[in-house]
Amino acid sequence: MKQEQSKKHFWTTGRLSLTAFVFTLAALVISSCTANDTANLTANNNAAQSNQPKVTVTANRGPQTQQQALQTVPPEVWNTDIQAVDGGTFRLSDYKDKVVVLDLWATWCNPCRAEIPHLVDLSKEYGGKGVQVVGLTTESPQTDTEKVRDFAKEMNINYKLGWARADMAMALMNGRPSIPQTFVIGPGGSILFHQIGYSANLPLVIRDAIGRANGKANGD
């Protein structure tokens, strides 16, 4: 009897909530791609390198942690002119009053391809509600423009696409050169959520982060 009462006292509401959160994180089975020498992120592409595998796909990895996670979008990323895939330029700071869902991706990355339909749905759902989805491809505008534009049409991408310059991509990756990398950025540039890789639960976690961001914006 005492043992049963002890168990009831142990499973308080707080402990149940914490346990549920831990199980949610554990359920995030991550798939990601590592770019060893993609055209847009590598300073030297010689003939010897071109014979080496360019992509390492890693499946069933746990969430990747960084020694020091970014708290805000670096100024050199926030205020930099980004070349848009469909022409012209834009800055992330153009959306300073919105919640930004930012995705680093590439057409050759299968986990990136799996995530994109969910980003399309998010853009449809939240487009008129103060949320801007932005995809920055790590490919090269010099060699991959037609491929990326054709891919965008094929996938019915309805959100802003741009080219991630090497310095911008590396600043956001913060020492972990894997894609996709997804950020939920609050108004003003604070990073509310960052995930390396894709999992089936990721869209739900993004929606939760958007809800928290909107709550902060409304003073909740």
Reported as a single tens digit per residue, the pLDDT across 179-218 is: 999 999 999 899 999 999 999 899 999 999 999 887 765 5
Q: Domains for the chain: give ranges and CATH numbers.
A: 31-217 (3.40.30.10)
Coil, strand or helix: which one is 202?
Answer: helix
Coil, strand or helix: which one is 42?
Answer: coil
Decide: 161 and 123 in contact? Cβ < 8 Å. Answer: no
Reported as a single tens digit per residue, the pLDDT across 50-105 is: 332 233 333 334 444 444 677 899 998 999 999 999 999 999 999 999 999 999 99
Q: How far apart are CA 146 and CA 137, in angstroms?
A: 13
The pair phi, psi for residue 158, each rounded to 5°, is: -115, 15
If you average pLDDT over every residue of the chain, what do you get? 76
Tokens representing 72? 């805000």
Q: How far apart are CA 30 and CA 127, in angstroms?
A: 27
**pTM for the predicted model, two decimal places:** 0.72
Name the pLDDT band for 36 (thresholds 50, 70, 90).
very low
Decide: 149 and 158 in contact? Cβ < 8 Å. Answer: no
Reported as a single tens digit per residue, the pLDDT across 142-160 is: 999 999 999 999 999 999 9
How many other C-beta atoms are found inside a 10 Å radius of the C-beta of residue 54?
16
